[in-house]
Amino acid sequence: MREPDNHIFDHTPDSLADWFESIGSKRFRAKQVLEWVYAHGVTDPALMTNLSGRDRDALRDQIAFPSCATIEHARASDGVQKLLVQWDDGDKPTLPIIGDSSRQTECVMIPSLPGDTRTRKTACISSQVGCPVGCKFCASGLGGLDGNLSAGRIIEQVWMLNQLPEVERITNVVFMGMGEPLANFGPVVDAVRTITAPWGLGIGARKVTISTVGLPRAIERLAQELEIPVTLALSLHAPNDALRRELIPWSEHTTINELVDACAIWFERTGREITLEYILLGGVNDSADQAVELADVCRRLRCNVNLIRYNMVEGMPYQRPTDDRVHKFQDTLRERGINTHIRASRGRDIAAACGQLRHEQVTTS
């Protein structure tokens, strides 16, 4: 998958100003273009009326603007909207080949639940095409990893969700779509900087969450290099190494102890609590005894726990847990002083879990 050589969403004010200078134009034009793109949602140079005709022609001919095609736009009964998009290969005359899953990713807009006083619109975005981790219960990694997304293509997902009907403005961003964000470290960090920049999407850093399956060195590096106070979420999904290695092949060379140590460094350097993500699989990792084990892990961290009911994927053997098991698991954690929440299941009627829409499109094509 070839990236565009000069993508508008990869630019910063300085890099775009350099580009304008290189074509003999004024550097301040960069600020005008970025205002059109991020403040007004305009990506057609012909509509950027405060630019000269020469500058608009140069933008059209030399810079790639949105570079994906929407393959499917699904709407759920609870207001969730999900896009399956396919990326161009970087050659402007070439249109995407519909049905080529090696170039498809998903992104989701999740609004607040009715009655919630917070008017959140959360963008759940992908960092890779496919996923290298191969979690046994997840549709994202069924076909393995097809490639990394550039920073521009990560940012473009948030921009696209911002343009959907009834959205108005994305308020939160979570890197919980396809891929392992910390395995695409540089582009993810660059994307976060633009997502949070006042000249970019202007989303508060504390409203951005990076979710990782757990790469200790990358977690430590993120704490050192990313000066922005984002939230770190660790996809734990098991209370002990033996079960975690069954569910998450990548954890074969990483222990929970190593992850706890890396997360402790994160907290020491950022002051930000860790969120532990725990997908409950019926009869696999949802017993009261396993909740006790998980509580022992949690006591070693400044953390809170998000419990997530499994969304079943066709062809996989895992089951959604019963409500009784879920609440018993939560009660066991709370009895031991662990701050725990059960995440509301959203968008189930449109296959909104990671990789499901892409998987269904492939299996039915």
Catalytic positions are: 106, 354
3 state SS of 244: helix
Please name the amino acid found at residue 34: L
Q: Are 29 and 51 in contact (CB under 8 A)?
A: yes
Q: Which DSSP string do the residues of 73-86 spell out, in sequence order?
A: EEE-TTS-EEEEEE
Could you tell me where the beta strands, DSSP code E, fall in the chain?
68-75, 81-87, 104-111, 121-124, 128-130, 145-148, 172-175, 208-212, 231-235, 274-280, 303-309, 340-343
Phi-psi region at 17: left, alpha or beta (left = phi > 0; alpha = psi -120 to 50): alpha
How far is it, in rounded angstroms, from Cα 40 to Cα 139? 35
3 state SS of 345: coil
Residue 53 half-sphere exposure, CB side, CA atoms within 13 Å? 0
Q: Which residue has the tokens 């959203």?
A: 346
- Based on the number of CB atoms within 10 Å of its own CB, is 169 exposed (0-12), middle (13-18) or buried (19 or more)? exposed
* Radius of gyration (C-alpha) of the chain in whole angstroms: 21
How far is it, in rounded angstroms, from Cα 64 to Cα 61? 8
Name, in order, each residue with C-beta under 8 angstroms of 154's C-beta and a sequence gap of 6 or more.
Answer: 125, 126, 127, 187, 188, 191
Instruction: Select from 116, 108, 44, 36 the least CA-distant residue to 73.
Output: 108
Kindly give the pairing relationship between strand 303-309 and strand 274-280.
Answer: parallel
